[in-house]
Structure 1
Amino acid sequence: MPGPALLVADDHPLFRAAVLHVLHERLPQFRTLEAASAATLGAALQEHPEVELVLLDLSMPGARGFSALLHVRGEFPGLPVVVISSNDDPRVIRRAQQFGAAGFIPKSAPAEAMGDAIGKVLEGGSWFPPMAAERSEADAELASRLAQLTPQQFRVLLCLADGLLNKQIAAQLGLAENTVKVHVTAILKKLACYSRTQAAVLVKSLEADNGL
């Protein structure tokens, strides 16, 4: 099995290159992998169980706000995720923490701070900038409800949020239409939603903060 790896998920090649440079300098014992979208992130994690930490930009193609973070945390609960974002608003930092991130690094942070943060998380700790935002009970409840979904149900939920019909979801995810119907029923029950529209609004709240 290959040696331990770190995965950088960001759709900006120049920023990815800058992060990889920091990782090679500070953590040469790790191999590095890259992903530029939510889909390639998921595929890379399935293909590389040796990944020990994910550095995640929230605004990649295929991600809705915090959806990629929630998806990784749901599918790989033992894998720490450090969010890297250009939006370091205290509420965004607090939400990332409540949705399961082990750390948050503003993109404006110097390379030294980035290296320190990653090292601390790899040791089992966490790293967040000082925050003024209060903990949100609504976000805590939302995270708890979404945590009940299986990874496949989470994928179906994101398709629901895009307004896709069961038939379209089945085609997109390679499932039988009846299987999608069963998933939708389970999703609505777990999220305590009475309609597909209400479930879609719930997903929309994951991207309520602009500039992620």
Structure 2
Amino acid sequence: MKVLLIDDHPLILAALQQVIQRFGDAVEVIGVGTARAAREVLQAHADVDLVLLDLQLGDADGFEVLGEFRSAYPAVPVVVVSASDRASDVIRSIDCGAMGFVPKRASNDTLYEALHMVMSGGIYVPPMSMGGVGGSPGPGGGSVRDAAIAAPFQRPVALDALSLTPRQKEVLALLLQAKPNKLIARELNLSVETVKDHVAAVLRALNVSSRTQAVLAVSQMAQGSGLPAAWRAAPRA
């Protein structure tokens, strides 16, 4: 496994590398301190399996870098490791395509468990309340705004009690990969209108009002009770 660490603090890079090495001797870690250096690594190494990204970089905005990498390398999961633990930053990171968000104040064990979840195809976010979250919308427009100012988040029932149809479960799995309705329709051989109906049913079942909230809800339920394999978000392709 090859992991790219992006953080402009050498001590943080060293601490992250120590955690990554717990995955075994076969792990190769590349640490860089700038977005420019990270771009060069990704261009030179097509076999990077995981990226850990700090949002506060000296030469670039972390959210912009996240969106750039998710667009250019959609098969490579990105986990944000940030000094911030604001819910608005968590929401925006997930909305930009991050597969995980770990505050730097988290323990090494928490970071290890989060990375293991992501590498297994899941999504990790820290426990948090969604009610009363502030923050401005991200570059993509309304989806962050919808998630940030929606009515107070209500944790839904366990996934196995949602009573979704098999087709709705397939739609949810693709939704967790951040795929738009057109791609979901193509993969499932459905009309876009039918996919919209399934997405609406999934959001109602999860008791949320946006795709980003759905990702956060599923992630937090997974941490609470264990996410069945059939519900895991497959690596984004």
Shift of 1:133: 3.1
For 1:55-74, list aligned pairs within 5 A. 55-74=52-71
Q: If the length of structure 1 is used for normalisation, what is the TM-score? A: 0.61
Aligned partners of 1:83, 1:10: CA distance in 2, in Å? 10
Unmatched 5+ stretches in structure 2: 144-237
Aligned partners of 2:142, 2:4: CA distance in 1, in Å? 24
SS of the residue 1:49 aligns to: coil
After superposition, the CA RMSD in angstroms is: 2.2
Aligned partners of 1:129, 1:137: CA distance in 2, in Å? 20
- The structure 1 segments of at least 4 consecutive aligned residues displaced by more than 2 Å after TM superposition are 25-29, 131-144
Greater shift in the superposed pair: 64-73 or 24-33: 24-33
For 1:184-195, list aligned pairs within 5 A. none
For 1:115-194, list aligned pairs within 5 A. 115-133=112-130, 138-139=137-138, 141-142=140-141
Q: Contact between 1:8 and 1:33, CA under 8 Å: does it hold in 2? A: yes
For 1:7-22, list aligned pairs within 5 A. 7-22=4-19
Shift of 1:137: 10
SS of the residue 1:6 aligns to: strand
Unmatched 5+ stretches in structure 1: 145-212
Aligned length: 141
Q: Which amino acid aligns with 2:11?
A: L
Aligned partners of 1:126, 1:86: CA distance in 2, in Å? 19
Which of 27, 39, 43 is the equivalent residue of 1:42? 39
Which of 84, 91, 94 is the equivalent residue of 1:94? 91
SS of the residue 2:141 aligns to: helix
Q: Contact between 1:94 and 1:131, CA under 8 Å: does it hold in 2? A: no
